[in-house]
Amino acid sequence: PEESTISDTGELSIGGVPVTELARQYGTPAYIMDETGLRRQIRRFVDGISSRRPNSEVLFASKSLPCVAMYAIAQAEGLSVDVAGGGELMMALTAGVSPERIYLHGNAKSNQEIQMALEAGIRAIIVDNFDDLDRIEKLAAKPQKVLLRMIPGITPATHASQVTGGNDSKFGLPPADITRAIARIEAHPMLEFEGIHVHIGSQVLETEPFAAAVRSVAEFGSFSTYDVGGGLGVKYTYDEVAPSVDSYLDTITEAADRLLPADAKLIIEPGRSIVARAGITLYTVNTVKTTGKTFVAVNGGMADNMDIALTGQRYEALLATKIGVEPTVVADVVGRQCESGDLMCQDVALPDPQVGDLVVMPATGAYAYTLANNYNGACKPPVIFCADGSSTLAVARETYEDLLHTQQPALQRRW
Ligand code: LLP
């Protein structure tokens, strides 16, 4: 994270709070956010886009870190948010995000979710398909703005599970159906058609596909709004190279100025590129063993970071109190879940790893908390925000009671 420092002895601090203090206060595993760096990154997007194209809006793709504290920070820093369903909508409203800054996504929205959105008076619903449209037409009792999600036919180079804009995508309607959908929206007394949405994929490490995304919506006609989605990739490992926010914004606003109507609003939906590098996960080493190779096993794993198994994303891992200390061994840092694929970081040079050492995995601010699960009875880790030398608990650690909360007593069995 930007606001991280390393002491003379090699101990990491996030937002001025030493990792040993965080571990003592909150336990491990824990998701730690550098709030100052995070807010600075948000402003790079918000100020960066509005200085280039004043008629624009940045929606935080809240699926990347959906917690009430993060929605509140997003709202305070001038972001709007996109929510991917009723659960995220509820959290955004609970955090006090104004409904006119909320956009609802989803390729299989329910009546209940659409009803919630209509009642809350959110800014816009992004229509993904004709069943969405049927539902909204039926339920809209007052005026509602909508966008239409189109399949752009763009496949950027990223992991297959992260490509969402190819012609075989389950998201959106093919261009051939868009005209018919617009006609239906325009014929409905309560619906107002705002424009087109596309999203090409995630962890995209070049800028050209974003210009292509603008091109794909521009070719489609003249509307008041063009939402070109999220997807800007970030640097996870030492050898990864990612575009800067500025070069991304240059590309996208230059394409917009060249190809879109001058008075049209440009929307982007960054998620990962806002939160990923502001976050780390802190673990404790539970076992060290040498068989054919050395394994350093931590007290977390794919239950708190699904990204590695899901997308093949690679991460770095360091001993959080021995940073810069001369390595003594090359080891695999592994998790504690019952899968061989639960491998956090392969062949990493570590300085004398010992049971009880703290391990930091950088750049886990996006989609790690989101995809946390209870595999092997794991309790989801807490989320903690750090700034100016103090820490604040944003999401508490799950407990065994939480795990039992939805379980029915064994004695009630009737089969
Ligand atoms: N807009 C839409 C409609 C999206 O579906 C997404 C991400 C975004 C924006 C934000 O994209 P971002 O800027 O964060 O790349 N499971 C994967 C991530 C899936 C992303 C889903 N959609 C992972 O763990 O990396």
Residue 336 lies in a domain: yes
- Asked whether residue 73 is domain-assigned, the answer is yes
* Statement to judge: residues 307 and 261 lie in one domain: no
Overall pTM surpassing 0.80 (yes/no):
yes
Confirm if 273 and 229 have CB atoms less than 8 A apart.
Answer: no
**Rounded CA separation 128/133 (Å):** 8
- Choose one of 223, 244, 274: the last residue of a domain: 274
CA of residue 244 to ligand 1 center, whole Å: 18
**pLDDT for res 408:** 87
Identify which of 80, 110, 106 has the alpha carbon closest to the alpha carbon of residue 95: 80
Q: What is the pLDDT of residue 161?
A: 64
345 is catalytic: no
**Which of the four pLDDT bands, split at 50, 70 and 90, describes residue 205?**
very high
- What ipTM does this complex have? 0.98
Q: pLDDT tens digit string along 223-240?
A: 999 999 999 999 999 999
How far, in Å, are 64, 66, 221 from residue 81 at the CA level? 11, 10, 26
Q: Answer yes or no: do 219 and 349 share one domain.
A: no
Annotated binding-site residues for pyridoxal 5'-phosphate read: 231, 269-272, 367
- Between CA 72 and CA 116 the distance in angstroms is 20
Q: Do residues 212 and 86 both lie within one domain?
A: yes
- Consecutive H or E run containing 191: strand 191-197
Q: Are residues 330 and 207 in the same domain?
A: no
Task: State the distance from the centre of ligand 1 to the C-alpha of 62, rounded, in angstroms.
Answer: 9
d(CA 373, CA 376): 9
Give me the pLDDT at residue 153, please. Answer: 86
> By mean pLDDT, which of 31-35, 160-164, 175-179, 269-273 is the weakest?
160-164
Claim to verify: residue 171 and residue 303 sit in the same structural domain: no
CA dist 312 and 162 (Å) reads 11
The CA distance from 392 to 363, in Å, is: 19
Write down the residue that tokens 């709004």 correspond to.
Answer: 225
Number of domains present in the structure of the chain: 2
Q: Is 197 in the pocket of ligand 1 (CB under 6 A)?
A: no
CB within 8 Å of 193: residues ≥ 6 apart:
146, 148, 182, 185, 186, 223
* CB of 278 closer than 8 Å to CB of 362: no
pLDDT of residue 166 exceeding 80, the answer is no
415 occurs within a structural domain: no
- The parent domain of residue 106 ranges over 35-274
Q: Which residues are annotated as a binding site?
A: 231, 269-272, 339, 367
Residue 148 CA to residue 198 CA, distance in Å, equals 9
Beta-carbon count within 10 A of 401 CB: 8
Average of per-residue pLDDT across 28-49: 98
CA–CA separation, 189 and 75 (whole Å)? 31
> At what angle are helices 111-120 and 130-139 packed, to 10 degrees?
50
pLDDT at 265 over 80: yes
Closest C-alpha to ligand 1, atom 20: 202
Answer whether residue 220 shows pLDDT above 90: no
* Residue 218 alpha carbon to ligand 1 centre in Å: 22
Task: Give the mean model confidence (pLDDT) for residues 200-217.
Answer: 96
- The tens digit of pLDDT for each residue in 61-77 reads 999 999 999 999 999 99
- Shared-domain flag, residues 21 and 88: no
| Ligand 1 contact, 364 CB (< 6 A) | no
Give yes or no for residue 415 having a pLDDT over 60: no
Specify whether 86 is located in the same domain as 112.
Answer: yes
CATH of the domain at 10: 2.40.37.10
Helix (H, G, I), strand (E, B) or coil at 395: strand
Please give the Cα distance from 371 to 12 (Å, whole number). Answer: 26
Pocket test for ligand 1, best of 64, 206, 226 (most atoms within 8 A of CB): 64
In a 3-state reduction of DSSP, which class is residue 289? Answer: strand
Domain end marker among 241, 274, 307 = 274
Alpha-helix runs per DSSP H in 243-388: 245-259, 272-275, 307-311
Q: Does 162 sit in the ligand 1 pocket, CB within 6 Å?
A: yes
Task: Pull the structure tokens for residue 327.
Answer: 């390595």
Distance 201 CA to ligand 1 centre (A): 7
Q: What is the CATH number of the domain that holds 264?
A: 3.20.20.10
Which of 110-119, 161-170, 183-192, 299-308 shows the lowest mean pLDDT across its residues?
161-170
What is the C-alpha to C-alpha distance for residues 20 and 231, in angstroms, rounded to an integer?
A: 34
Judgement on whether residues 257 and 330 belong to the same structural domain of the protein: no
What is the pLDDT at residue 413? 64
For residue 308, give the 3-state DSSP assignment.
Answer: helix
The helix (run of H) or strand (run of E) holding residue 4 is: strand 4-6
pLDDT in tens, 90-117: 999 999 999 999 999 999 999 999 999 9
Q: What percent of the chain is predicted at pLDDT more than 70?
A: 97
Q: How far apart are CA 65 and CA 315, in angstroms?
A: 18
Task: Note whether 41 and 23 are same-domain residues.
Answer: no
What is the pLDDT, as a whole number, of residue 160? 65
178 and 295 both lie in a single domain: no
- In a shared domain, residues 259 and 298: no
Could you give the dihedral angle defined by the CA atoms of residues 64, 66, 72 and 76, in that order, rounded to the nearest 10 degrees?
10
Contact 394, 303 (CB under 8 A): no
Distance of CA 211 to the CA centre of its chain: 22
If you average pLDDT over every residue of the chain, what do you get?
96
Out of 257, 274, 291, a domain closes at 274
Beta-strand pair 30-34/383-387: parallel
pLDDT at residue 157, as a whole number: 72
Residues 114 and 241 in one domain: yes
Q: Does residue 412 register a pLDDT over 90?
A: no
Which residue's alpha carbon is at the smallest distance from atom 5 of ligand 1? 199
Is the minimum distance from the CB of 231 to ligand 1 under 6 angstroms?
yes
Inside any domain, residue 412: no
Angle at which helices 245-259 and 208-218 cross, to 10°: 30
Q: How confident is the model at residue 320 (pLDDT cuts 50, 70, 90)?
A: very high
Share of the chain above pLDDT 90, in %: 93
Catalytic pick among 67, 338, 345, 386: 338
Q: Does 410 fall in a domain?
A: no
**Mean pLDDT (whole number) for 186-203:** 97
3-state DSSP percent of the chain in helix, strand and coil, to 5: 35, 25, 40
